[in-house]
């Protein structure tokens, strides 16, 4: 047996180290080298005497423990656990070289299991990660100044920061480090600044109603107002529609009745004296109004009776009085108008800042030429989406009968064992059974119904003919105040505007043992939405990191709920979630700066026993008078544990990378309160300007962006003040009365009547002519006068489907404070 104090034992996968069992040399070890570099998988290269067997033959063990006998209190120390990567290429020689990898078989699973703990503010933000990579564990590290790390003994996967070793520090004194092995080099120029330009986009959406409040409008031409009043469901353009409306003829002028009153009297005495009244007949026809009106006499005629006591005298014993008149009522129109807005505006926010690092001078400033910036500055240009992915609206789960649904609710309904999803297009209470062609909600008392809607009552569907608010009970023969039928039975219940619209691909809550196809959207048990990338039959529990047999992820993460939160928001970056995005961008820039701040590389060798517990999760400190300041501290970026045979002592070769920062600190600043003096209230009660917040490792701060987006100023939900630019009612009964009076031609007609008499036409015929022609003409003149003096309601609204709106934020960030792991300005000595 060799006296080389190292052991090699073939084992089964997953076998834990047992120094009492694995202290064997299954192969004769000639030399070895364990190598581990930052971000890479540890490897063991071992030279053994050729065993002349098929090392990868079926049934052979390919995993091995490699250990070292410290011959001290540490006993037998495990150095490496890994699997044989391939058969040796030098099979014919007396010695063969085997290469082992410490990559665990569940490497991806371990990374995936770590990912959730790393997906935290401010280091991770799915906003800036495309949908295909949001669940990719490698995308997690973009905001971290860290690399994946695999432990060479336990094969555990973790991450390790590029500056701060999580597993502590080893110090190598000047007497321990091999004098001739120490080497210092400047790797490459440190990165001094990172310019970040990021863009986020979303669709601002909002739905709501604005009540224009009831109006009571008086006009002599109220019919025009009623006929022209906006109808329910009518589109007004630019995102506005009529939700509810009505125009009600308060005094039912349109259906005014005309009455005729006739009275007759005849003298029934048997003897009469001269001059006795003998008969009286009267006929009076007029409309019956309940409202004020204008009345004008158009024609009039009267003739007195003439009697003469002289029997030879002229007698005309009949007296006549007649007139015709025209009546013009003053309408009172009672109106309601409730408008619905469905805002949709594309929004963009750009954020820009430069993060500079506080570094020691390494090179002289080359002088501001563009070519020089390329080596000490970087650009990060990213785009993100903060809007909704997946269905818009409110998830209502599974459809249920007799349930109140609102516009843009969405639900699942299972028909013949297949799930279907639908949007709600109109507020309603659902019918007893689902039908995707349904047009009617269950009739409800004291509810507004618009003309054109359908209602469901007792298994039948009725059309709403008149916009109204329902009474306590349904009456199919109900009339409105003017006698109009409100409902009408619909023989075809599916005739009318539908209540539901299908949503393709949405499958609702994730279910076990269910077939899903690509592009399906499911809600995970935690409420997060996922998109199916690869069709599959689901298992018993939901696993967002589930893969197919080739390792492809089955799901992609959707941003739903949307990062913007309330989709009606005007701005994103000034919100708390927006600050998360901003902080993530700073972390991206910080990661680039920190990684490149390790400009100095120090390599040295030391005795083997000092490095047996070394890993790339540690810092190392080397003391050597030849170094600036006599020492250097850095992150272990690579190391080798080397044994070249029984005749040479094993040793370690270590490389550390040292940050060339100044070791300064940056502070937090609460800012200037805008409401009360500092101390009056706790932070968060009032808005602070110029606030500077530390983030991440506390080595950089930034100022909050001001929340004043550049847009049209509308803040949802809208009220009437915001919605309405102007509202005018143009109706002037007085001017209409004047127009009617002006149109009165009664006196002219009287002159025409007299002219006919003079022309020899009998009075009776002249009167008939007057009534038949001029009377009708007068009515037409009045109608024309009213038509020329219309009444109308004019409303000017702000558009809500407009944009796009774009706002740029220039963010102030402090310098990034970088630790001083080596002082390049300090003196050294030989």
Partner 1 sequence: MPSFEEIVRPFQTPDITPPKQGTDDVPSVVPNVIVIAGGTGSGKVMQGNYQATSTVYVIKRPKEKTS
Q: Tell me which residues in 255-294 interact with partner 1 (CB under 8 A).
A: 256, 258, 267, 272-287
Does 368 participate in binding partner 1 (rule CB under 8 A)?
A: yes
- Give least dist CB 370 to partner 1, A: 9
State the minimum distance, in angstroms, from the CB of residue 560 to partner 1.
24
By the rule CB under 8 A, 456 interacts with partner 1: no
Q: Which of residues 179-198 bind partner 1 (CB under 8 A)?
A: 192-193, 195
Which helix (H) or strand (E) element contains residue 695? strand 692-695
Q: Which stretch binds partner 1 (CB under 8 A): 144-152, 319-327, 412-420, 536-544?
A: 319-327
793 lies in the site for partner 1, by CB under 8 A:
yes
Give the containing element (helix H, strand E) for 422: strand 418-424
| From 5, 561, 607, 799, residue interacting with partner 1 (rule: CB under 8 A) | 799
Q: Rounded to the nearest whole angstrom, what is the least distance from the CB of residue 229 to partner 1 in the complex? A: 5
Minimum separation from the CB atom of position 714 to partner 1 (A):
12
Residue count, binding to partner 1 (CB under 8 A):
122
User: Which residues in the 375-434 window bind partner 1 by CB under 8 A?
Assistant: 376-377
| Beta carbon of residue 373, minimum distance to partner 1 (angstroms, whole number) | 6
Asked if 354 interacts with partner 1 (CB under 8 A), we say yes
CB atoms within 10 A of CB 378: 18
Dihedrals φ, ψ of 643, to 5°? -135, 125
Closer to partner 1 by CB, 412 or 593: give it.
593
CB-nearer residue toward partner 1: 367 or 417: 367
Mention every residue, 6+ apart, whose C-beta is less than 8 A from residue 8. 24, 25, 26, 27, 29, 46, 48, 64, 65, 66
Nearer to partner 1, 154 or 675 (CB): 675
Q: Is 336 in the site for partner 1 (CB under 8 A)?
A: no
Compare residues 437 and 742 and give the one whose CB is closer to partner 1: 742
**Cβ proximity of 22 and 84 under 8 Å:** no
**Shortest separation between residue 465's beta carbon and partner 1, angstroms:** 20
**8-state DSSP, 181:** G
Q: Are 663 and 822 in contact (CB under 8 A)?
A: no
Range in contact with partner 1 (rule: CB under 8 A) among 341-349, 482-490, 499-507, 599-607: 341-349
Report how far residue 613's alpha carbon sits from residue 624's, in angstroms, rounded to the nearest whole number: 22
Nearer to partner 1, 164 or 771 (CB): 771
Scanning residues 731 to 790, which ones bind partner 1 (CB under 8 A)?
A: 771, 775, 779, 782-784, 786-787, 790
Per CB under 8 A, which of residues 219..238 are in contact with partner 1? 219-230, 236-238
How buried is residue 817: exposed, middle or buried, by Cβ count under 10 Å (0-12/13-18/19+)?
A: buried
Question: Which span (325-333, 420-428, 476-484, 597-605) binds partner 1, by CB under 8 A?
Answer: 325-333
CA 386/CA 204 separation, integer angstroms: 10
Which lies closer to partner 1 via its Cβ, residue 36 or residue 570?
570
The interface region with partner 1, picked from 34-42, 112-120, 305-313, 463-471 by CB under 8 A, is 305-313
Rule CB under 8 A: say whether 324 interacts with partner 1. Answer: yes
Please state, in angstroms and rounded to a whole number, the distance separating the CA atoms of residues 284 and 263.
Answer: 9
Burial class (CB in 10 A: 0-12, 13-18, 19+), 323: exposed
Rounded to 5°, the CA angle 321-324-329 comes to 140
- 14-17, Cβ contacts within 8 angstroms, sequence gap of 24 or more: 14/63, 15/63, 15/65, 17/65, 17/67, 17/78, 17/81, 17/153
334 in contact with partner 1 (CB under 8 A): no
Residue choice 706, 764, 768, 826 for contact with partner 1 (CB under 8 A): 706
- Binding part of the chain for partner 1, among 7-15, 62-70, 348-356, 531-539 by CB under 8 A, reads 348-356
Q: Enumerate residues 6+ apart whose C-beta is below 8 A from 65.
A: 7, 8, 9, 11, 15, 17, 22, 78, 80, 81
Measured CA to CA, the distance from residue 329 to residue 828 in angstroms comes to: 109
Question: What residues contact residue 723 under an 8 Å CB cut-off, 6+ apart?
Answer: 210, 339, 341, 797, 798
Which residue lies nearer to partner 1 by CB, 77 or 694?
694
Under rule CB under 8 A, which residues in 685-704 are in contact with partner 1?
689-690, 703-704
Tokens encoding 224? 């025009």
Tokens in use for 606? 């030391």
Could you give the 3-state DSSP secondary structure of residue 764? helix
Does 809 interact with partner 1 (rule: CB under 8 A)?
Answer: yes
The DSSP 8-state label assigned to residue 481 in this structure reads T
CB of 676 to partner 1, least distance (A): 20
**SS3 of residue 619 by DSSP:** strand
Nearer to partner 1, 68 or 704 (CB): 704
Nearer to partner 1, 297 or 485 (CB): 297
Among 37, 45, 209, 348, binds partner 1 (CB under 8 A): 348
Q: Taking CB under 8 A as the rule, does residue 134 contact partner 1?
A: no
Answer yes or no whether residue 802 interacts with partner 1 by CB under 8 A: yes
- Residue 344 DSSP label: E
Q: Between the CA of residue 141 and those of 214, 431, 595, what are the distances in Å?
A: 60, 52, 12
Residues 528, 534, 539, 545: what is their CA dihedral angle, to the nearest 10 degrees? -50
According to the binding rule CB under 8 A, does residue 25 interact with partner 1?
Answer: no
Closer residue to partner 1 in complex, CB, 237/459: 237
Choices 59-67, 249-257, 385-393, 506-514 (CB under 8 A): range interacting with partner 1: 249-257
Closest distance to partner 1 from the beta carbon of 682 (Å): 22
Q: How far is the CB of 480 from partner 1 (least distance, A)?
A: 18
Residue range at the interface with partner 1 (CB under 8 A); choices 367-375, 452-460, 601-609, 628-636: 367-375
Buried/exposed 472-500: b ≥16 CB within 10 Å, e otherwise? eebeeeeebeeeeebbeebeebeebebbb
Rounded to 10 deg, the angle between the 733-742 and 776-787 helix axes is 140
Stretch that binds partner 1, among 347-355, 416-424, 434-442, 656-664 (CB under 8 A): 347-355
Cβ atoms within 10 A of the Cβ of 92, count?
Answer: 8
Tokens 């019918």 belong to 431
Regarding 323 and contact with partner 1 (CB under 8 A), the answer is yes
Question: Is there binding between residue 159 and partner 1 (CB under 8 A)?
Answer: no
The residue among 499 and 582 lying less far from partner 1, judged by its C-beta, is: 582
What's the closest the beta carbon of residue 244 comes to partner 1, in angstroms?
A: 14
Instruction: Considering only the stretches 91-99, 314-322, 460-468, 818-826, report the one whose residues sit in contact with partner 1 under the rule CB under 8 A.
Output: 314-322
């Amino acid at each position: 047996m060799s006296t080389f104090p190292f052991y090699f034992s073939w084992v089964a996968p997953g076998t834990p180290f047992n120094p009492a069992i694995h202290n064997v040399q299954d192969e004769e070890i000639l030399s070895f080298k364990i190598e581990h570099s930052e971000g890479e998988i540890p490897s063991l290269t071992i030279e053994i005497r050729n065993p002349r067997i098929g090392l990868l033959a079926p049934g052979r063990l390919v995993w091995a423990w490699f250990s070292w006998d410290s011959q001290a209190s540490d006993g037998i120390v495990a150095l490496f656990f890994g699997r044989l990567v391939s058969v040796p290429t030098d099979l014919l020689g007396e010695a063969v070289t085997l290469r082992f990898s410490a990559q665990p078989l569940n490497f991806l699973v371990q990374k995936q299991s770590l990912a959730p703990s790393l997906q935290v503010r401010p280091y991770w933000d799915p906003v800036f990660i495309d949908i295909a990579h949001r669940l990719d564990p490698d995308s997690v590290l973009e905001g971290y100044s860290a690399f994946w790390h695999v432990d060479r003994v336990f094969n555990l996967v973790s991450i390790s920061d590029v500056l701060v070793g999580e597993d502590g520090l080893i110090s190598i004194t000047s007497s321990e480090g091999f004098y001739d092995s120490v080497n210092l080099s400047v790797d490459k120029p440190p990165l001094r600044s990172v310019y970040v330009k990021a863009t986020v986009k979303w669709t601002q959406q909002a739905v709501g109603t604005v009540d224009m409040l009831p109006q009571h409008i008086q006009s002599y031409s109220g019919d025009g107002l009623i006929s022209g009043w906006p109808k329910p469901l009518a589109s007004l353009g630019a995102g506005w529609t009529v939700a509810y409306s009505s125009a009600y003829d308060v005094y039912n002028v349109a259906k005014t009745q005309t009455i005729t009153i006739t009275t007759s009297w005849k003298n029934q005495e048997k003897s009469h004296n001269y001059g006795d009244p003998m008969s009286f007949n009267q006929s009076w026809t007029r409309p019956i109004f309940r409202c004020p009106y204008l009345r004008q006499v158009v024609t009039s005629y009267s003739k007195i009776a003439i009697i003469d006591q002289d029997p030879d005298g002229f007698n005309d014993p009949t007296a006549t009085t007649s007139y015709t008149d025209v009546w013009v009522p003053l309408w009172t129109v009672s109106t309601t108008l409730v408008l619905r807005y469905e805002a949709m505006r594309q929004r963009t926010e750009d954020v820009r800042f430069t993060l500079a690092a506080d570094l020691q001078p390494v090179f002289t400033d080359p002088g501001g030429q563009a070519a020089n910036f390329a080596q000490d500055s970087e650009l990060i240009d990213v785009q993100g989406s903060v809007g909704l992915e997946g269905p818009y609206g409110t998830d209502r789960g599974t459809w249920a009968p007799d349930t109140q649904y609102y516009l843009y609710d969405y639900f699942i309904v299972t028909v013949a064992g297949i799930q279907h999803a639908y949007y709600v297009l109109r507020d309603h209470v659902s019918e007893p059974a689902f039908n995707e062609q349904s047009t009617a909600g269950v009739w409800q008392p004291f509810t507004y119904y618009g003309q054109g809607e359908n209602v469901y009552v007792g298994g039948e569907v009725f059309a709403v003919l008149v916009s109204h608010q329902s009474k306590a009970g349904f009456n199919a023969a109900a009339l409105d105040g003017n006698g109009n039928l409100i409902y009408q039975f619909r023989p075809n219940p599916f005739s009318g505007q539908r209540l539901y619209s299908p949503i393709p691909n949405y499958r609702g809550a994730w279910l076990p043992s269910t077939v899903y196809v690509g592009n399906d959207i499911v809600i995970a048990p935690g409420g997060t939405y996922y998109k199916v990338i690869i069709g599959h039959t689901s298992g018993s529990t939901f696993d967002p990191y589930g893969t197919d047999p080739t390792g492809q992820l089955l799901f992609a993460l959707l941003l739903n709920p949307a990062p913007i939160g309330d989709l009606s928001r005007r701005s994103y970056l000034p919100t708390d979630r927006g600050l998360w995005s901003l902080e993530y961008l700073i972390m991206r820039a910080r990661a680039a700066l920190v990684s490149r701040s390790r400009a100095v590389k120090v390599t040295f060798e030391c005795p083997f026993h000092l490095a047996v517990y070394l890993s790339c999760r540690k810092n190392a400190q080397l003391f050597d008078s030849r170094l600036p300041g006599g020492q250097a501290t850095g992150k272990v970026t690579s190391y080798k544990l080397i044994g070249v045979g029984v005749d040479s002592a094993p040793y370690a070769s270590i490389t550390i990378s040292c940050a060339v920062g100044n070791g300064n600190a940056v502070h937090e600043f609460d800012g200037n309160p805008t409401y009360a003096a500092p101390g009056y209230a706790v932070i968060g009660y009032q808005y602070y300007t110029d606030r500077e917040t530390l983030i991440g490792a506390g080595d950089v701060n930034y100022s909050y962006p001001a929340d004043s987006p550049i847009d049209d100023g509308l803040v949802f939900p809208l009220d009437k003040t915001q919605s309405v630019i102007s509202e005018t009612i143009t109706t002037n009964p007085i001017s209409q009365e004047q127009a009617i009076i002006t149109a009165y031609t009664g006196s002219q007609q009287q002159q025409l009547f007299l002219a006919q008499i003079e022309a020899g036409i009998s009075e009776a015929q002249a009167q008939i002519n007057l009534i038949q022609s001029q009377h009708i003409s007068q009515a037409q003149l009045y109608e024309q006068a009213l038509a020329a003096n219309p009444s109308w309601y004019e409303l000017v609204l702000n558009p809500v489907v407009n944009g796009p709106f774009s706002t740029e934020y220039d963010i102030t960030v402090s310098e990034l404070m970088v630790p001083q792991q080596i002082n390049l300005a300090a003196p050294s000595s030989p």
